[in-house]
Every structure is written in structure tokens, then in C-alpha cells.
Structure 1
């Protein structure tokens, strides 16, 4: 029996995001390097890093394949969830109008 299932629920564990609570919240420039390292490792482990880094950009509407768009959207949503839940609420205004995880991540990296 895994104690983290009790804390995070089986849905989080199944999705691999059960360890979000162990990531230090991004609060300022001092916490940024640790936050960036921890989130990067999590992004890579969940295979969403290419969406966050921009290597796998949002599919263009004219080349839209429904499955490709659905897969990309799921990865982007997972990455956005990681970012939004690991950034202190006082900093959420920086990313409030961002429409992709890549834009959120770039904005935070450029700010710090």
C-alpha cells in the first residue's frame, strides 16, 4: 500500500502527478532554480517536456489531425496543471493570459 495514494488519490498516482506536493513552490528568484529543476524533471518523466519547451508546438489548424490535436492538448493541459499548481498564487498574474504551457514557462523563465 502506498501512503501517497491516500494523500493524492489514485487518479493522480495513475497520471504520474502524485508528487506535485514535493515540488518547492515558485515564490521568487531565490526559489526559481530549484523550481525549474524539479518541474523540468517532472515534465520529462511525464513526457510533456517537448510541449513545454516548444519543441512540439501546438498543431496548426490547417494541418489538424483530431488525434494529434487531442494528444497535444492533453500534454499541454498536464503541463499547465503542473505549472499552475507549483507557482505561488502571488505570481499567477504573470501567466494569467497565457494560452499554452510553453508560453507560461517562457514567461516565468524570462521574468526570473
Structure 2
């Protein structure tokens, strides 16, 4: 018998995979692609039914939300320019928290 905790962990992993697929689809064709970092409750495992998906997008382009909308994923996107991310951005409490708890869905390329 599958425990509730195990079933919840499997649901969270499936949701993370769906978010990762949507992120890759959202940056397809952008050169260079913006880095996309998953942070917040889904990254930490505290995600609940009413939570949204927190993404930090590092790059000049806005992220296409349509891949997330097609999957009915409520997203909160924080965008930061690459130059700011490398200097003042890394000093921001939000960016520091995102880096500490997050997972790169689309790695930031040099």
C-alpha cells in the first residue's frame, strides 16, 4: 500500500516535471535562452493545492506563459536582466533565496 507521503511526493515530482517541460518549451527558439530557476514551495516540497509556481527568469526576454497556461499551471514569474543578476541582482534577498532553494530548469548559459 502506498503511503500518503509517498503519493504526495510522486505528485510533486510529476508537477515539477510538467513545469520543467513547460519552461523548456517557453524558451525554445530564444538565443541565448534565458535561465529559468524554479524556487519557492514547489522547489522546497511545501507546495499545496492553492500554491503558485515561482520562477526566476534570468535574461533579456520575457518568458512565454502559454506553455504554463496550457498545463493549467499558475506561475509567478520574476524576471531579472543578466547584467543585474551578476552584480546587484545576486545581492537581492529574493534572488539569494531563489538560488539557495531553487533548481535550474533551464540552465543559465554564459
Q: When the two structures are superposed, what TM-score results if normalisation uses the length of structure 1?
A: 0.27
Structure with higher RCO (Cα < 8 A, 6+ apart): 2
Which has a greater percent of helix? Answer: 1
Query: Which structure's residues are more often strand, by fraction?
Result: 2
